[in-house]
Structure 1
Amino acid sequence: MDKIRELASNKAAVIFTKSSCCMCYSIKQLFYEMGASPEIYEIDQEIGGKEIERALRMIGCNSVPAVFIGGIFIGSTKDVISHHVDDSLKKMLIDARAIWL
């Protein structure tokens, strides 16, 4: 879990994904369209990806994408979309300095 915390706090927005996941692609595109440049970790292509996946499960994330903003676990697809719909995702990204107005 320490590795997850370290990786998640390296940049304002961090997304753990799998390269073949269509929902991961959609969330990455959402972030790009909002002007963010998240750090992306494709755990199916990372050395130690299985350990990262186990650590994500330990913090309650059972699926990818796993999104962190400002070092805080935001959630997976459903959670990110909910935050986007109620406009709190934009505020989180601004507060973490992942995007600017």
Structure 2
Amino acid sequence: MHYQTESWGSYMPTRSSVGDPLERIERLASENAVVIFSMSTCCMCHAIKRLFCGMGVNPTVHELDEDPRGKDMEKALMRLLGSSTAVPVVFIGGKLVGAMDSVMASHINGTLVPLLKEAGALWL
């Protein structure tokens, strides 16, 4: 698989990124066409990354278990989704698509590819 994983080891927080985890999620989600919040050991996260890579999309993946503030972000994602499961969470074009079920429903009903094209993540 070829996707870009953000390195947290060299991440230097700025004054604006230290605060609210939801603000940080929104900022990170808007920086790339496709952003996945994931856990490196989660099989559903692996499946969603494979889906996008198989479509020719190069998502930016933020592995929350490798982020020193990942637990706070995980809690914020659970609140955002209204779910007890936080990952995987997918943003396309800075907009929340949702968890695995929402992404798969979009893929099956044919709305995922147009979203990816609109965001500039897919050209064909």
TM-score using structure 2 length = 0.78
Aligned counterparts of 1:19 and 1:96: Cα–Cα separation in 2: 25
**Contact 1:27/1:77, CA 8 A, preserved across alignment:** yes
Aligned length: 101
The correspondence of residues 39-78 of structure 1 with structure 2, limited to 5 A, is: 39-60=60-81, 62=83, 63=85, 64-78=87-101
| Superimposed CA distance per residue, residues 9-30 of structure 1 (whole angstroms, 9 cap, x where no aligned partner) | 0100000011111111010000
Q: Relative contact order (C-alpha < 8 Å, sep 6+): which is higher?
A: 1
| Superimposed CA distance per residue, residues 57-77 of structure 1 (whole angstroms, 9 cap, x where no aligned partner) | 221253210000011110111
TM-score using structure 1 length = 0.94
Extract unaligned runs of 5+ from structure 2: 1-21
1:100 paired with 2:123, answer yes
| Superimposed CA distance per residue, residues 35-55 of structure 1 (whole angstroms, 9 cap, x where no aligned partner) | 111110110111210111122
RMSD: 1.0
Aligned in 2, Cα 1:95/1:61: closer, same or farther, shift over 3 Å?
Answer: farther
What amino acid is the match of 2:60? E
